[in-house]
């Protein structure tokens, strides 16, 4: 019994599922890393994902092509990012209130539009994103099964992780972005308006969260929209951002961890109620948040011991 469970857990299917579950969270976490570096507490990612998911399906349905859906998502992503920055940067509103309101607004708007346009809270079977077959990859046992024939966005995410990492840590603009969050006056006295970086971060976050939603509806679920389908992924992404200290590469790893536990939950459904296994990723997220605090505290204590004792 245990053997069958374990072999089903550590199968190629599980790891493939891990990739698929992790990708929307990872994309959103990349966006969240941008706003986090810019010093904006972004609770509103869940709403941004939800809007991406809806407008992706809407575009795909209306124009009859998933590419058009993604294009619409990109446009909406910029608009949502601008909207978010207008309040958090320009008006200096409470980030918590704006984020929460954005989530509820997204829930209301997508459900309202879905019911108005499709007549019900959801829609299925719209043109979806293609999967990519990489010839030759199948030759590698196990890994080939895990990595090949995935939805386009899974590969796109890898590229984006690299690009965002380079952007943050290897370009001058990355320096400015980090300075704008950590100590904005530094940037201002250097002659660069920190607000500009915050606006940029917010737009990037809108775009990336939109893509996360588009992947969810057009990629992972093959052209399906359902009410509240973001299902707290925005918050999990936020936890990944905190966990990774907004490092895109580490955030991706954290998202993979979420994906792994999500996949295990799906595997265990054969043995335990799916309602119970479904809670695993959320519980893991809480554990992750606790670990972040404990880790930083322990690191400080170590630093304390390492300090040379300067005695007279």
- How far is 69 from 61, CA to CA, in rounded Å? 8
Site for another protein in 148-187 (CB under 8 A): 166, 170-172, 174-176, 178-179, 182-183, 185-187
**Phi, psi angle pair for 11, to nearest 5°:** -100, 165
Is residue 62 involved in binding another protein (CB under 8 A)?
no
Two structure tokens written together for 61? 């349905």
Is residue 2 involved in binding another protein (CB under 8 A)?
no
Distances (CA, A) of 305 to 66, 81, 224, 302, 310: 57, 44, 55, 5, 12
Minimum distance of another protein from residue 3's CB (angstroms): 26
Q: How far is CA 153 from the centre of its chain?
A: 12
Minimum distance of another protein from residue 252's CB (angstroms): 19
The phi-psi region of residue 203 (left if phi > 0; otherwise alpha if psi is between -120 and 50; otherwise beta) is alpha
Could you tell me if 19 and 257 are in contact, meaning their C-beta atoms sit under 8 angstroms apart?
A: no
Closer by beta carbon to another protein, 5 or else 117:
117
Residue 238's nearest CA partner among 205, 199, 279 is 205
Site for another protein in 229-258 (CB under 8 A): 231-232, 235-236, 238-239, 242
Minimum distance of another protein from residue 65's CB (angstroms): 23
Minimum distance of another protein from residue 240's CB (angstroms): 10
Binding part of the chain for another protein, among 27-35, 74-82, 131-139, 290-298 by CB under 8 A, reads 290-298
Q: Residues touching another protein: how many (CB under 8 A)?
A: 74
Is residue 278 involved in binding another protein (CB under 8 A)?
yes
């Amino acid at each position: 019994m245990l053997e069958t469970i374990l072999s089903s857990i550590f199968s190629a299917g599980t790891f493939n599922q891990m990739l698929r579950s992790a990708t929307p969270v990872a994309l959103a976490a990349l966006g969240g890393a941008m706003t986090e570096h810019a010093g904006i507490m972004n609770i509103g990612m869940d709403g941004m994902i939800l809007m991406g998911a809806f407008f992706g399906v809407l575009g795909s349905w209306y124009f009859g092509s998933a590419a058009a859906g993604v294009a619409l998502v990109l446009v909406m992503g910029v608009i949502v990012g601008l909207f978010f920055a207008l309040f958090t940067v320009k008006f200096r509103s409470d980030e918590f209130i704006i984020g929460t309101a954005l989530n509820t607004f997204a829930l209301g708007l997508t459900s309202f539009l879905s019911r108005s346009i499709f007549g019900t809270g959801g829609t299925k079977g719209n043109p979806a994103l293609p999967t990519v077959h990489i010839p030759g990859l199948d030759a590698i046992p196990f890994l080939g099964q895990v990595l090949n024939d995935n939805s386009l966005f899974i590969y796109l995410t890898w590229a984006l992780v690299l690009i965002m990492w380079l952007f943050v840590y290897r370009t001058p603009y990355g320096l400015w972005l980090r300075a704008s969050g950590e100590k904005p006056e530094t940037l201002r006295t250097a002659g660069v308006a920190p607000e500009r970086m915050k606006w940029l971060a917010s737009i990037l976050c809108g775009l990336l969260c939109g893509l996360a939603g588009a992947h969810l509806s057009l990629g992972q679920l093959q052209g399906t929209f359902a009410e509240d389908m973001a299902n707290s992924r925005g918050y999990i992404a936020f936890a990944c951002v905190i966990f990774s200290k907004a490092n895109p590469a580490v955030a991706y790893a954290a998202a993979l961890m979420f994906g792994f536990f999500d996949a295990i939950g799906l595997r265990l459904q054969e043995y335990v109620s799916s309602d119970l296994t479904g809670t695993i990723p959320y519980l893991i997220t809480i554990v992750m948040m606790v670990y972040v605090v404990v880790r930083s505290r322990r690191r400080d204590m170590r630093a304390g011991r390492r300090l040379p004792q300067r005695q007279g």
